[in-house]
Amino acid sequence: MSHKVNPKTVELLNYRIQQEEFSSRMYYQMYLWLDNAGYMNSSKVWQKYAEEEYKHKTWAEEWLLSFGVMPCLCPLESPPETYTSLVDIIEATYLHEEDVTKQCNDLYAYACENETSLIPLALKYVSEQVEEMNKVITLKDVLNSFGTDKMSLFLLDINIEKYT
C-alpha cells in the first residue's frame, strides 16, 4: 500500500520550495549589489549563500518526488535590487532568516502533528536555520562591536569569511 501525502503537506512543501528559491534569488541580488559596490569578499559570501539556498529547495522537491508527487515551481516575487550598504544587507539578511526560521519551525510543528514521515525533512530545515541564524547574528555582533564606519566595513569585508 502506498503512502498518500496529505494535500496540506504538498502545499507546505511547495511553499518551502518557493521560499528557498526566493532566498536564493534575494541573496544573489545582494551578491550583485555587493560586487558592484566594491565589497569583493562579501559579495562572494552572499553568492555562496545564494547557491546554498538553491540546494535547500531540492530537499523538499526530493521528498515530494519520493512519494510520487510532482513539485510545483510557484511564481516568485522579485527581490529588492538596491541597498545602502553592507550593514543594510546584513540587517535584511537577519530579518529574512528570522522569517525563514519561523516558517521551518511551523513546518516541523505541522509534521509532528500531521505527517510523521515529514519529520526528518522538517528537522533538517530547522537544523539548517540554526546555522543560518548563527552566521548572521555573528555578523551583527561584529557590527555592534566594531562599528559601521567605512574603515570598519572595509575591515569586515576583508575578514568576512572568518565570520561565516
Sign of CA dihedral 16, 22, 27, 28: positive
Please answer whether residues 145 and 43 qualify as being in contact, where contact means their C-beta atoms are separated by less than 8 angstroms: no
Tens digits of residue pLDDT in 15-25:
999 999 999 99
- Angle at CA of residue 92, ends 135 and 136, nearest 5°: 10
> What is the average pLDDT value for the chain, to the nearest integer?
96
HSE-up (13 A, CA, CB side) for residue 126: 14
Within-domain flag for 34? yes
CATH of the domain at 34: 1.20.1260.10
Rounded alpha-carbon distances, angstroms, from residue 31 to 25, 97, 98: 10, 16, 20
Residue 141's closest CA among 123, 163, 114?
Answer: 163
Percent of residues, the chain, with pLDDT higher than 70: 98
Within-domain flag for 56? yes
Q: Per the structure block, which three cell numbers stand in for 120?
A: 526528518
Tens digits of residue pLDDT in 124-147:
999 999 999 999 999 999 999 999
Within-domain flag for 77? no
Number of domains in the chain: 1
Per-residue confidence (pLDDT) for residue 163, from 0 to 100: 83
Contacts of 70 (CB under 8 A, 6+ apart): 64
Q: Give the range of the structural domain holding residue 86, as residue numbers without chain letter.
A: 7-72+82-163
Per-residue confidence (pLDDT) for residue 4, from 0 to 100: 87
Which residue matches cell numbers 538596491?
82
Please answer whether residues 22 and 62 qualify as being in contact, where contact means their C-beta atoms are separated by less than 8 angstroms: no
CB burial readout 18-50, b (16+ within 10 A) else e: bbbbbbbbbbbbbbebbeebebeebbbbbbebb
How confident is residue 1, by pLDDT bands cut at 50, 70 and 90?
Answer: very low
Within-domain flag for 109? yes
Q: Average the pLDDT over 65-80 and give the result.
A: 94
Residue 89's closest CA among 134, 139, 16?
Answer: 139
Within-domain flag for 14? yes
Contacts of 130 (CB under 8 A, 6+ apart): none
How confident is residue 164, by pLDDT bands cut at 50, 70 and 90?
Answer: confident
Within-domain flag for 2? no
Within-domain flag for 1? no
Within-domain flag for 55? yes
